[in-house]
Structure 1
Amino acid sequence: MATPDLFDTLPVEGLVAGVDEAGRGPLAGPVYAAAVILDPARPIEGLDDSKKLSAERREVLAGLIRERALAWAVAYADVEEIERLNILHATMQAMRRACLGLSQAPALILVDGNRLPPGLPCQARAVVGGDALEPAISAASILAKTARDACCLELHARYPDYAFDRHKGYGTALHLARLAEFGPCPEHRRDFAPVRRLL
């Protein structure tokens, strides 16, 4: 695996894609990732780490990103993959899928965090805190988060007892209480300790 700073001093010409994930920490549902190549001719004001934005603002920005970006892609790894690969490797898989799903080929991929997914199609650099530093990573974080939130609404429709629409799968007091009352559903990650204790 390339070290995070391997390409810091190398000049890169061409398109730059930002990549980020959403949903590593929750106890249920897929982990999502997105890749975005922004268009310098069509800037988007207000891009930031998705966690710093309200749900309403994320949705507005997600629409602008899909409309104005040169290319974007969203991918995920499902619960079966998370249990088979572990959450880290499943996240890397989702990130790689998002990169390979771009309709235009980037010359450089900037990945939020300190690790690079294997098998990327071009040069890549890990950027710690990149979702607040690099606009393309911020855009990716917004698309990944809104896609994951939409998935949680679908999970709520299928499994209303767990209130996925409220906690989005995270281990909140409400979620843990519903888990204790109803037991895990098929979308719960059985390798995660709060779920494993109930099996």
Structure 2
Amino acid sequence: MRGGKPPITHKGNYPAEIQQFEQTLRQQGYQRIAGIDEAGRGALAGPVVAAAVILPTDCQLSGVTDSKQLTPKKRAELFDEIHRTAVAVGVGCVDNKEIDQINILQATMTAMVQAIVQITPAPDYALVDGTHLPAISLPRLHRDSEQPARAIPKGDTLIQSIAAASIIAKVTRDRLMIELDETYPGYSFRVHKGYGTLLHRQAIAQLGPCPIHRRSFKLQ
């Protein structure tokens, strides 16, 4: 098992899955395990934001799961608790202009790299929500090991550190969109946070796109 990929199951209790997967990593010698996730990838306006979170060994934060399953109030409470508890937190942000230049996938990967490089010392293993890995270069604990990172589909419902990162990214981006609502009134950014709701699309049809809209996306 040393240097290889530990198994991950998709059955059973959420904390048990976290314990099994992350304990296997720690048995291999990995201690600074960062969970990474993004917010805003599917929005029509505003940036994509990514977060990287390292939690203490054996940490169990009650209520931490995919940020989309939580109320805004609960997300805000957990945002503060994660910051108090985490060993390290990093945040990356790529604006709509760069998204239009390099495409949303590459922008998401860029934001993730930005989040990771904010963490010092660097993580020794990265768990990334989704099916793609950002172009990160982490120190290898074992010479014969593969790149110490793994993409995990639906990782924000399986791995606590990824779920924590999803909350940090979501709350950070939501607060930014509330600020941008004051800069660009009429679009109700504080309500839909830039996503393609009927309210948002009606505003675009009436007012046209504003400077934070993603021109590479289908806005109407």
TM-score by length of 1: 0.91
Q: How far apart are residue 43 of structure 1 and its match?
A: 3.6
Letter in 1 for 2:77: V
* 2: CA distance, partners of 1:48 / 1:96: 22
1:142 maps to 167
2:22 maps to none
2:135 maps to 118
* 2: CA distance, partners of 1:95 / 1:168: 20
1:189 maps to 214
* 2: CA distance, partners of 1:178 / 1:50: 26
Give CA-to-partner distance per residue, 1:73-132, whole Å, 9 cap, x none. 111111111011000000000001101111332110000001100133241000111001
Matches within 5 A, 1:25-174: 25-40=42-57, 43-122=60-139, 123-174=148-199
Percent identity over the alignment is 47
Q: How far apart are residue 41 of structure 1 and its match?
A: 6.0
Answer yes or no: is the 8 Å Cα contact 2:56–2:87 preserved in 1: yes
* 2: CA distance, partners of 1:156 / 1:87: 22
**Uncovered stretches (5+) of structure 2, i.e. residues with no partner:** 7-24, 140-147
1:3 maps to none
Worse overlay, 164-173 or 40-49: 40-49
**Aligned with 2:92: secondary structure?**
strand
* 2: CA distance, partners of 1:160 / 1:80: 20
Answer yes or no: is the 8 Å Cα contact 2:49–2:94 preserved in 1: yes
* 2: CA distance, partners of 1:141 / 1:39: 17
Worse overlay, 100-109 or 18-27: 100-109
**Aligned with 2:98: secondary structure?**
helix
**Aligned with 1:162: secondary structure?**
coil
* 2: CA distance, partners of 1:104 / 1:141: 21
**Uncovered stretches (5+) of structure 1, i.e. residues with no partner:** 1-5
TM-score by length of 2: 0.82
Answer yes or no: is the 8 Å Cα contact 1:7–1:124 preserved in 2: no
1:8 and 2:5 matched: yes
* 2: CA distance, partners of 1:154 / 1:42: 33
Q: How far apart are residue 13 of structure 1 and its match?
A: 2.2
Choose 1 or 2 for highest CA Rg: 2
**Aligned with 1:125: secondary structure?**
strand
2:144 maps to none
* 1: CA distance, partners of 2:155 / 2:62: 17
Worse overlay, 38-47 or 49-58: 38-47
